[in-house]
Each structure stands twice: as structure tokens, then as C-alpha cells.
Amino acid sequence: MQTARIAIVGTGLSGLYAACLLEQQGLHDYVLLEARDGLGGRIACAPASGQPATGAEPFDRVDLGPTWFWPGYPHQLARLVDDLGLTSFAQHETGDTVVERSPHEPPARVRGYANSPPSMRLVGGMAALTDALQRRLDATRIHTGQTVRRLRCTPQHVELDSEDSHGQITTWRAEHVLLALPPRLVEHHIEFEPALPPALAEQWRATATWMAPHAKYIAVYDTPFWREQGLSGEARSARGPLGEIHDASMPGGSAALFGFFGVPAHVRQSVPESELKAHCRAQLTRLFGSQAATPQAEFIKDWALEPFTATADDLQSSGQHAPAPATRAPSGPWRGRLTGIASEWSPQFAGYVAGAIEAAGLGVSALRLLAQTSPCGK
């Protein structure tokens, strides 16, 4: 049996940031358990070339998950970006927007709108943030390919059973568990002994997971030719298949456009990926001209197909940010033993990148207080 004072389940942004906060407090006795083979959770990037990564951290990447953050919401996210030495830049919004109001009308060009404050991006993609946090951690504390299946509350500890790809079970013992997974995934994938309070389990099950029903298409080009036409790269479409499109170019790197699919997950999954890409290329050609028809590389990331992101309930979700549920059990045997720290548990920014920072910070700050609560079984 493996032991640690703190077990963190999930290595998305909230899990990695929580581990860094523990390190800063001098608490090095923790373990990070991740079901996927890699770290980052819903923050994911791919080399813009479309070729496999070479091992060195690539600069020219496209975001497959979250793309933006807003430095003032909250301030600790901006401070973290600065502290990690990362370079940010404003989302390109200069120029007109293209609108498709119906399948029966040609695209129309309208005056563009620039957000204030601007949406910000990171050089190297949003994964530059999780990569930098990972470099600050002890690699021996991180265990990938470990799917947590069961949590048992004993009189003095919580025992976690994790399963690897070969079906081998490893048991971990911890004083406290930080759940860096979306609440719905926790309730769906992890068995609790004894069971969670019914009201809490229902809250977690009812909390939609951000990104879970969504899918993105990214097209990479030699140059941002749309800018030469006075276009921002933004578009809105009632025709689809992409409902919302933005410039995804990397300064000093590749030019790119990306869009969110406007069709439901079950429709996307009924169409071969090659056909979906063909529809997306045709749409970009309608909106931005013939140069859009031949991207150098293209990607589809459908988060609804990710078993460690989406459940069947998410496929019917509207995709809107859900109110934050309770982070821990108010009473009973699990009181003082579990804390939810994924973005969906953020009081102010649930579902956003900023929410992962806020929820993790609150969870780690509460650990000292939680240590004074009743142990399991009392």
C-alpha cells in the first residue's frame, strides 16, 4: 500500500496548481493520480504542423481545449502567468466579422467588435501553463495511467483504489483527498464506501462539465490571409457546421482559424471525421475565400468522445457554465476527508481556467481547517 498525506485525483490545471501550492507551504507528502497517460486534463495542445511532438516543448501549438483567459478575473491567474515567466498576448480581433444568418443567405460582412478587457492567450498555447506547473513538481509524485475507481473511508484515513491499463489495482492511503475532477465525473466514475450523502451526490451528478459536450475544429495556414482582407477571423454562423469562429494564429508561428461546432454531439458522432473536416473547409471557404480551402493541417477535438471528460449526461447538456456545487460533505463519515477543487467548484468562475485556480487555492487554504474536523467514522 502506498501512503501520502494528501492525494490529488486529477492532473488538470487545478490538480497541478494545488500541488504547487502544497510545495510552497512546505508540504511535500502528496501524490497526484491521473487516469490519462499525460497531464493537463482539458487543457490540451497539438503542434501546429500536425506532426507528432518531438519531445522538446513546442512553441507553435494550437489549443484543443481552453484558449483564453482574462487577467483581471481573478488576479491570481495573471500573477501565476507572470511568476511562471509565460508570455501572453491579446486575442486578434482587429477587422470585420463575417456572419451567416441563415442557410439561404450569403455571408455578410459586419463591423467587428473588440472585447474589453481583451481576451488573452499564451505563447505556446494554454498548455504552456500546465507544462510550467509540472516542471515545478517532483516527478516521482505524479502517477499517470491510474484511474481511481474507489474511495474507502477508514477511521483514520481514506484509501483509494486505482487501476492501470492492465487491470492491476494499487491502493493508496491518504489523510485527505483533493478531487481535481469535475463533480459529475467524480460521482459517475468513483465508488464511495460508505456512499456520499445523497443530496451531495445528486448535486455533483447534476453539475454539467465544461467542454464536455463541445468540439473544436482548427485549420492551420501559411499566412493569416483573412487579415489582408480586413477581416478579424471572427465569424458567426446559423448554417454551420461551426457556429462560432476565431483567429487562432500564434505570433511568430503559424496562422490558424478555429471554430466551435454548432451541431450536437450525437450528430457529430454519426458523421465520419473526414466528412466533418470537409464540411468545415467548405464553410471556411464560404466565409473567408478560396485560400481557406487548403489548410496545411487541420484538427478536430471532440471532447464528448473523451471518457475522462464526458458522461452520457453531458451529451444532452447545453454546454453552459453551471453554478458551483458544494465542495465537501457537510456531515457524516466523509466530512473533512474530501474537497472538490476542479474548476466547476469555483464560486466565481465555475468552468473557466480562472475557476481552476480559484477552486484549487480555496481547497488548499482550507486544508488546515479541515484537518481539525472529525476523522472518518466519527
Cα–Cα distance between 58 and 51 in angstroms, integer? 11
Are 154 and 263 in a shared domain? no
Cα–Cα distance between 231 and 225 in angstroms, integer? 9
pLDDT surpassing 50 at residue 143: yes
Residue 119 lies in a domain: yes
* 79 SS3 class: helix
Residue 290 lies in a domain: yes
- Calculate mean pLDDT across residues 124-141: 97
* pLDDT tens-place string over residues 41-55: 999 999 999 887 665
Are 16 and 117 in a shared domain? no
Residue 378 lies in a domain: yes
Cα–Cα distance between 127 and 134 in angstroms, integer? 10
**What is the pLDDT, as a whole number, of residue 57?**
54
* 332 Ramachandran zone, left/alpha/beta (phi>0; psi -120 to 50): left
Q: Cell numbers of 281, please?
A: 473547409
Cα–Cα distance between 350 and 14 in angstroms, integer? 12
Domain of residue 338: give its range.
1-43+126-208+321-378
**What is the pLDDT, as a whole number, of residue 374?**
43
Could you say which DSSP state residue 103 is in? T
pLDDT band (50, 70, 90) for residue 58: confident
- Calculate mean pLDDT across residues 224-237: 98
* pLDDT tens-place string over residues 156-203: 999 999 999 999 999 999 999 999 999 999 999 999 999 999 999 999
Are 272 and 342 in a shared domain? no
pLDDT surpassing 90 at residue 230: yes
Please count the structural domains in the chain. Answer: 2
* pLDDT tens-place string over residues 295-307: 999 999 999 999 9
Are 220 and 107 in a shared domain? yes
Are 275 and 342 in a shared domain? no
Are 346 and 230 in a shared domain? no
pLDDT surpassing 90 at residue 259: yes
Residue 81 lies in a domain: no
Cα–Cα distance between 233 and 220 in angstroms, integer? 13
Core vs surface per residue 32-53: b (16+ CB within 10 A) or e: bbbbbeebbbbbbbbbbbeeee
**What is the pLDDT, as a whole number, of residue 41?**
97
Are 39 and 131 in a shared domain? yes
- Calculate mean pLDDT across residues 96-107: 95
Cα–Cα distance between 72 and 275 in angstroms, integer? 41
Residue 172 lies in a domain: yes
Q: Which CATH number goes with the domain that contains 273? A: 3.90.660.10
All residues at 6 or more sequence positions from 56 whose CB lies less than 8 Å from its CB, including other chains: none
Residue 316 lies in a domain: no
pLDDT band (50, 70, 90) for residue 116: confident
Cα–Cα distance between 242 and 366 in angstroms, integer? 42
Are 301 and 217 in a shared domain? yes
Q: Which CATH number goes with the domain that contains 7? A: 3.50.50.60
Per the CB < 8 A criterion, the answer to whether 44 and 69 are in contact is no
Q: Cell numbers of 112, please?
A: 467587428
Of 113-117, 163-167, 187-191, 356-360, which range is least confident?
113-117
Which phi and psi (to 5°) does residue 23 adopt? -60, -45
All residues at 6 or more sequence positions from 46 whose CB lies less than 8 Å from its CB, including other chains: 61, 62, 64, 299
- Calculate mean pLDDT across residues 355-362: 96
Between 151 and 313, name the one with better pLDDT: 151
Query: Of 241, 271, 305, which residue sits at a domain end?
Result: 305
Radius of gyration of the chain (CA): 22
pLDDT surpassing 60 at residue 91: yes
pLDDT surpassing 70 at residue 375: no
Are 102 and 244 in a shared domain? yes
Of 301-310, 320-329, 342-351, which range is least confident?
320-329
Could you say which DSSP state residue 95 is in? S
Query: Of 281, 305, 329, which residue sits at a domain end?
Result: 305
Residue 82 lies in a domain: no
